[in-house]
A and B are shown apart, each in its own frame.
Chain A
Amino acid sequence: MDSFWLVTMAILAGAVRGGTPFLFVSLGECLTEKSGKINLGQEGSLLAGAMTAYAVSYHSGSPWYGVLAAMGVGMLLGLLFAWLSQLPRTNDIAVGIALMLFGSGIAFFFGKPYIQPSAPLLPGIPLGAWSDSTQIQAALRICPLFFLGLLTAYFLAWFLRSTRWGLQIRAAGDQPSAARALGISLKAVRTWAAMAGSGLAAVGGSYLSLYYPGAWTEAISGGQGLMAVALVIFARWDPKMCLVASLLFGGAQSVGPALQAAGIQTGYYLWNASPYVLTLIVMVITCSTKKSLAGAPGALATGE
């Protein structure tokens, strides 16, 4: 019984801990896709963000400067994506993949000197201080960035529903000809959406290097930026569902380590594959030739 609770606790804590980067990347991707563009380069923004945050934190001594710098770099990559993908005769997917490679390339290139030194990390808020169980204390130590992500999810939902810019983004993504007839500049709208989206992904990256796992390595992302794209489909382009889906994926990621911590060794590597399996299952369930996806922006990656 005790080990059951331990495992459950560890998975819940892992959902929050491992779900936070998913949350930022998927919110960013959700915003970008709502404007009609698919940015696969989010993986590159994530890595570039992780590296930048770590380096800036190391040099400035403040992890929060690191987060801000990551956001800036992410927005620059978003700008690059928006510019390239809106040139004539280019394609979102190809540009996205190119930027994924570019983003990770610059992260690896400039990140080499930062693999060894240790930078100041983001603090955790000790919400479990009341308990004297170290496990509960560890589980309830939550990064402030998670709460920021939580707020962002609700803010984004409201933003898309009830602001001028939100409506314009949805119009641009769903029916570009209608947006054009309304005098909305597709270029401007999509550029801003891609920049903000990529900036959010980079903040997700800063969480990786500055909180959990809390170091800069080249293998830090494990494809989370790409999985987040699948996650947006799963969440039906709804920011609040992105939150749910991120926690689910984060939880799936922590099943393996949690079982191992409780002394269950069987199938450790198999459990570690669960987020990827989940991605596949999501894809299979949601992709049907018979039904078009409810909630999908009509002009997503159509090149229009």
Chain B
Amino acid sequence: MTLIPPENLERFTQAPASLDLYRITKKFGDFTAADEISLTVPPGTVHALLGENGAGKSTLVKCVMGFHPATSGEIMVGGHVREIQHPSDARKYGIGMVYQHFTLVPSMTVTENLVLSRPDVPAAVNWKRETARLEEFMATEAPFKVPLHKRASELAAGEKQKTEILKQLYLKSRILILDEPTSVLTPAEATEVLALLRQMTVAGRLSIIIITHKFREVFSFADDVTVLRRGKLAGQGKVKDLDRDSLAAMMMGGTSSAKPVPSAPRATTSTSSRRTALRVKQLSVLGDNGLTAVKDVSFELAEGEVLGIAGVAGNGQRELMEVLGGQRPAATGSLEAHGQPYHGTRRDILAHQFHTLPEEPLRNACAPMLSMAENIALRTFDQPPQARWKWLLNFRAIRKSALPLIEAYSIKTRGPDTPIRDLSGGNVQRAILARELSTLPLKILVVSEPCFGLDFAATDFVHQKITEARDRGVAVLVVSSDLDELLKITDRLLVMSGGQITYETPTATADLAVIGTHMAGHG
């Protein structure tokens, strides 16, 4: 890890102002997403914002950013009440935000992205001068380096996140709001980025509000913590006065529903005695750029087994997933389900009850403008009772069949008619899981990053559902960049690196260090 040279810290001559939120309320229609929330961020501190999915964390900080103005309440910067109606107001007071989703323009270079983010983009940009200025900024002020000439689409997730943070520093934001900044990073990247930010707050140059689901980050990184539950303040305090249990209790409001997953009955029946559900044979796949993204991958998945594929995102997992989901043709190699060739057509999917759940469900597995009930019905809408004669849709039945699933998967929404894109990140994931897991005759399930952006209760819930499915005899393949998750729920682990399977081990005897070196491509 690189330390920031002290002279670079001196460059940040302006110390951050204090930030106070006083009884902020935000309503969407008659639904209250944030209810009289107050909190204080003294200069040079890190304030963690915690809460289950849909608790109102993003809603609250978007009020501070002027993305949508608060319905009532006051925001004070440096002790003065400030009207923040628009993101440019927030910028004026030195407040900047790194959003839950990347806000870089993929086809533009880092330089172009940084220049574009300035409030005063010159009418005609002199690229030579801008490049020189940015190089100067990188050499002196920037706590970490990113390649200026690369397009944002060519950057790895970690580099993108660093660019987002650099963008805020370049804009001279002294109060940073980070919305789940580490969910797109590998653990090592997350630690690096957070440590560098921490260093800048300790030096009194930056204040931070960080939204996170990870307790580890709260304890190693934050000074204060605020917990929200269903839009209300559920607890607040100094991190040093709290422990895991008290924090978890605050989040769940005493009625903690987070039960540990019953440990899997591993190695009780040997996998070899079970039927093979899915066989991947010497599969090679081309990526978007026409280069080989998956190289000669072979593996077998047995019924009643959870197989994990570990690896840093971007090593061919997405392309592999797309082939399994029938969204991308294989270059060479073949797939077999239950011993028969599998081509991913709707008929094959039905015959083998083969379901996939891709990453980023809002983009890859939803119709964002349709209501939540309609999205949940996407697999069944052409069957009775949701459709008559296979074409006349019965919207009442569609709504009705969504209700028990909303209940069972505790999806927080204003109702089944809300467009799914208005749901919070975690609740979209829940809705899609409800759709995929509730189909009963499920036989093969392939999921990618199933707990991305979920709070810990939801994570446990998903893990439990996956384990239950396995115990019913479903063959499950989990692709995830979260190693802890894989160690917890899988029976067998593969490591994918550079498009190839480089390592295989039973999870029970897995050695973290060995897996780590293979993930890093040094196997």
Contacts and interface: CB of A to CB of B under 8 A. Distances in A.
Interface of A: 161-165, 167-168, 170-171, 174-175, 177-179, 181-183, 289-292, 295, 297-298
B106 A167 contact: no
A174 B107 contact: yes
B105 interface: yes
B329 interface: yes
A162 B125 contact: yes
A291 B288 contact: yes
Given A164-B125, A182-B103, A183-B86, 18 more contacts: A163-B123, A164-B121, A164-B123, A167-B116, A171-B116, A174-B105, A174-B106, A175-B105, A177-B103, A181-B87, A181-B99, A182-B87, A182-B116, A183-B87, A183-B88, A290-B290, A291-B288, A297-B107
B115 A295 contact: no
Nearest to A159: B124
Given A181-B87, A181-B99, A182-B116, A170 B105 contact: yes
8 contacts: A163-B123, A164-B123, A167-B121, A170-B108, A171-B116, A175-B106, A181-B87, A290-B328
Nearest to A296: B107
Nearest to B117: A182
B286 interface: yes
Nearest to A183: B87
Contacts of B107: 170, 174, 295, 297-298
A168 B116 CA distance: 7
Q: What does DSSP make chain A's interface, helix, strand, loop or mixed? A: helix
A167 B115 contact: yes
Interface in B63-81: none
A178 B116 CA distance: 11
A65 B87 CA distance: 44
Contacts of B104: 175, 178
Contact of B103 (A163, A178, A292): A178
Contacts of B86: 183
Contacts, number: 67
Contacts of B99: 181
Interface string B96-125: 000101111111100010011100011111
- B interface bracket (residues with beta carbon within 8 Å of A): 20 to 34
B283 to A, nearest CB: 15
Interface string B149-180: 00000000000000000000000000000000
B124 A162 contact: yes
Contacts of A175: 103-106
A41 to B, nearest CB: 24
B102 A178 contact: yes
Contacts of B117: 182
A291 B289 contact: yes
A171 B106 CA distance: 9
A210 B445 CA distance: 65
Nearest to B127: A162
Interface string B22-48: 000000000000000000000000000
A181 B117 CA distance: 9
Nearest to B285: A290
Given A167-B115, A171-B116, A298 B329 contact: no
A298 B103 CA distance: 13
Contacts of B105: 170-171, 174-175, 178-179
Nearest to B104: A178
Interface string B288-304: 11100000000000000
A288 B123 CA distance: 38
A79 to B, nearest CB: 23
Contacts of A179: 105
Nearest to B87: A183
Interface string B133-147: 000000000000000
A164 B286 contact: no
A298 B107 CA distance: 8
Nearest to A178: B103
A178 B114 CA distance: 12
Q: What 4 pairs between A and B have smallest CB-CB spacing?
A: A181-B103, A164-B121, A178-B103, A171-B105
